[in-house]
Each structure stands twice: as C-alpha cells, then as structure tokens.
Amino acid sequence: MSEPELLPILGQQPRERSDAARNRDALMYAAQTLVARCGADAVTMDAVAEAAGVGKGTVFRRFGSRAGLMAGLLDASEAAWQAEVISGPPPLGPGAPPRERLLAFGRSRLVSTLERAELVQAASGAQTRSYAAYSFTATHVRYLLGELGVRGDIALLATALLAPLEIPILHQQIDIEQMDVERILAGWEDLVERVIGLRA
C-alpha cells in the first residue's frame, strides 16, 4: 500500500496503451485512404472501422464522432501548411514585411481551404476542431496586425479578416453567386488595406 505519487504531477497522462496507439494509426490511415478514394461524404464510420480491422466502438472511442475523425484527418493534412507559415520561405513565411506576409497568408489560406473544402465541411461541428486549426490562423493574423501597428481590438479585426475565408462564405460566393476566385482574392486584399489603413 505504498503511495504512488508523493508529488502530484499535474497534467500527466497515464501514457497511451500500445494497442490504442496502433489502432489510432490504423484508423487514420484507413480513413485517409477511403476519403481519398471515395470522397469524404461517401465514407461511413462502419467502412472505416472495417478497413482498419477494428470494431466500430473503437472508432468512436478514439475520435468521438464522425466530425472528430474528419478533424483528425484535417489536422494531419494542415500540419504541412502550418509549417510553411511558421518557417517556410517568404512572403508566406518569416522574412517579408508584415503587410506582404498578411497578403500571402490570405491567398494561401483561401487556396488551401478550397482544396480541403470537403474535409473542412465534414469536420465542422467537432468540439476539438476547429480550435486547433482556427486558433493557429487567428494567432498568426493577430501577430501580423500587431506588427503592422494596427490600433483597435486586434482579436476582433483578425476575426473580421478570417471570417470571409471560411467555407460557408466561400461556398456561397463561388458555387451560388458564381464568383471568380480571383475576384474574391482581390476583394480580400482590398479589405486588408481598409482594415490596416487607419493604422498609427
């Protein structure tokens, strides 16, 4: 009856069991494959479970919901993009002036969002997401606005710049109002000019 922990180590997880880790990887791989082959909308949770060779309960234990699974795929697929922003070549990465970085960010974000549109939509509603993905972009834009010396509520201005790049808005503009992507991009850059225009 010895005391297991004299000092409570805060936040220490009991370490993931090996079978759990193996199944998680198998599920991610299976899901990624199926999404690539059939499109996200056509992939069922049963199919993922079977392709990964695990029970259905295991899928939900690991990812919580369908949206959670898709968010997992999305996060994995966005890691590369985030690396570009953090440490890639300018003007997207560090090195360029903040205004150029911000414009490059918008362009790149727009394109990558549209590329992963299906996944983004399928992942919407997951509690975990969109926090990981969203909070990265929000933090980055806030930082750039700060560098630009923009006055005002930086967090809200960042949101104002990011909101028009979200999937529901883009879908409305492109698929329903038949707008050109180039036009949307030009409009976003105009918006940036207006938002940072009143600086210092």
Nearer to a second copy, 29 or 134 (CB): 134
Nearer to a second copy, 29 or 131 (CB): 131
Q: Which of 8, 177, 178, 200 is close enough to bind a second copy by CB under 8 A?
A: 177
Helices vs strands, H then E, count in the chain:
10, 0
Cα separation, 152 vs 145, in Å, equals 10
Q: Are 122 and 197 in contact (CB under 8 A)?
A: no
Burial per residue of 109-134, b for 16 or more beta-carbon CB atoms within 10 angstroms, e otherwise: bbebbbebbebbbbbbebebbbebbe
Report what 186 binds from a second copy, DNA, none; CB cut-off 5-8 Å by kind: a second copy
**Closer CB to a second copy, residue 93 or residue 164?**
164
* N residues, the chain: 200
Query: Around Cβ 73, how many Cβ atoms within 10 Å?
Result: 21
H or E segment at 198?
none
Interaction of residue 197 with DNA, rule CB under 7 A: no
Within residues 2-31, the interface with DNA by CB under 7 A covers: 2, 4, 14-20, 22-23
- Binding DNA (rule: CB under 7 A), the pick from 55, 95, 146, 168 is 55
Nearer to DNA among residue 57 and residue 197 (C-beta): 57
Which chain residues interact with a second copy by CB under 8 A?
124, 130-131, 134, 152-153, 155-157, 159-160, 163-164, 166, 168-169, 172-173, 176-177, 179, 183-184, 186-188, 190-191, 193-195, 197-198
